[in-house]
Amino acid sequence: MTKTIFLLDMQSFFASVEQQKHGLSSSCPLVVSGDPSRPSGVILAACPLAKKAGVKNGERLREARLKCPHLTVVPPHMQDYLNYSVKITKLLESITDLVEPYSIDEQFMDVTGSSLLFGSAEETAHYAQQLITSTLGLRSRIGIGENKVLAKMACDIFAKKNESGIYTLSSSQVSSELWPLPIEKLFRAGGKMSHHLRMRGIQTIGDFANMKAETVRRLWGVHGQVLWMNARGVDYSPVSTETLQGRKAIGSGMTLPYEYVQIRDIHTVLLELCEEVCRRARKASLSGQTVSLGISSPRGGFHRQRTRQQATNVTMEMFDTVMGIFYEYWERIPVRRIHVSLSSLYADEYLQLNLFEEEKKQSSRHQLGFTMDALNDKYGTSSVIRASSLLDKAQAKERAARIGGHYK
């Protein structure tokens, strides 16, 4: 049975949410900037009117003001965007129970079984758009295909050019619609891979699609074969509500406000990141056996991992392993970026006891994290913190006030 898959993408999502919050009309050009008070602030999102004036995401605020002098500039509010995203998901679940969030402003939908209720694919897409607009005041685009790849490329490449914001890309149209396009347009290709393909004389999606599968596998392995299948409009992955649950690792990282050179300061941040990772692991009832540490700066860095004898979600146990990696591989260079993670995850259904340590001591250490989590869940994420997080170079309180690197 041929499936009908949607990729719904919210139009200028962050900017549109801000327009709704501030009661601004669509005739008011608005942008969301990471730091509106600084001309060097970066544009995170621009409304359609600002885009029409030439404003682009990622450019500096001073450049945007030159193109559009009457810009309204607001800071990001990530918690609001997350709340709106959840509301959109709930609206879409009134159309089909198969809704898979792909990003904060994109959602896959399998509407194969919804035709008797809402009509054809195009009629269902129009209904979804109208439902979101009438309820939340936001506009959306929808790509329609027989699988997720076709729906995604229909939305990204074609739907935004349609006045209705809806476009259907069938498998029979792949050779005529997709293949003539430059290789950069291929879903998941990325700038680096696209450049690599062009260096081999592959200029269009069709050039890549017409290569032999054996050659693609030999040159680029599994990743290359997945891209090759995308170029041919093939994708077997279903729309699933379980997608976000099958995690392979739990990690956390941050870019420091400036280069850290003192060991004590680096220790403080590493402990805070271990606390964050272990808290998320405990919340998911998981423990990890493999601990990873990544350190980077303009002068170099490393990424190493170490497998423990026993899986853990205890902060100090993970921190001890992280510090072992740190001391072995750190070459005294200033640190600007840090990332830690737990992988080789197992269900945390029991406590693995150490024969050489008292059971009571092990159990209390294991329970301490859950107690801190419960207090922070009830009173706020930074209600109970370690004393080291009160030091000048600590970042825990600052991170607690942010989502995705931006203030809530």
pLDDT digits (tens, 9 = 90+) for 250-300: 998 888 888 999 999 999 999 999 999 999 998 888 889 999 999 988 888
pLDDT tens-digit map of 41-56 = 788 899 999 999 999 9
By residue count, the chain amounts to 408
14 pLDDT above the threshold of 80: yes
Among 323, 313, 325, smallest CA distance to 365 is for 313
357 pLDDT above the threshold of 60: no
Tell me what the pLDDT averaged over the chain comes to: 87
Among 275, 355, 357, smallest CA distance to 314 is for 275
What confidence score (pLDDT) does residue 238 get?
A: 93
Among 263, 325, 249, 320, smallest CA distance to 294 is for 325
CATH number among 3.40.50.300, 3.30.70.270, 2.60.200.30, 3.90.76.10, domain 1-169? 3.30.70.270
Q: Where are the domains of the chain?
A: 1-169, 174-231, 247-407
Of the residues 106, 146, 177, 272, only one is catalytic, namely: 106
162 pLDDT above the threshold of 60: yes
- Highest mean pLDDT, choosing among 2-11, 188-197, 383-392: 2-11
In the numeric block, which tokens belong to residue 85? 């995203």
What confidence score (pLDDT) does residue 257 get?
A: 83
Tokens 């009457």 correspond to: 70
Q: Is 336 helix (H, G, I), strand (E, B) or coil?
A: strand
DSSP 50-105: HHHTT--TTSBHHHHHHH-TT-EEE---HHHHHHHHHHHHHHHTTT-S-EEEEETT
In the numeric block, which tokens belong to residue 101? 């969030």
CATH assignment of 174-231?
1.10.150.20
What confidence score (pLDDT) does residue 248 get?
A: 76
What average pLDDT does the segment 313-319 reach? 93
Distance CA 295, CA 347 (A): 28
Q: Is 305 helix (H, G, I), strand (E, B) or coil?
A: strand
What's CA 76's distance to the chain center, in Å? 16
Q: Is residue 106 flagged as an active site residue? A: yes
What confidence score (pLDDT) does residue 396 get?
A: 64
Cα–Cα distances (Å) from 236 to 102, 119, 239, 242, 320, in that order, read 16, 25, 10, 16, 42
What average pLDDT does the segment 240-244 reach? 69
The strand order across the sheet containing 30-33 reads 43-46, 30-33, 72-74
What confidence score (pLDDT) does residue 359 get?
A: 46
Indicate the Cα dihedral angle 161, 165, 171, 176, nearest 10°. -20
Distance CA 38, CA 26 (A): 25
Say yes or no: domain 247-407 is CATH 2.40.50.100. Answer: no
389 pLDDT band (50/70/90 cuts)? low
What is the value of pTM for the model shown? 0.69
Within 10 angstroms of residue 170's Cβ, the number of other Cβ atoms is 14
Lowest mean pLDDT among 88-92, 254-258, 396-400: 396-400
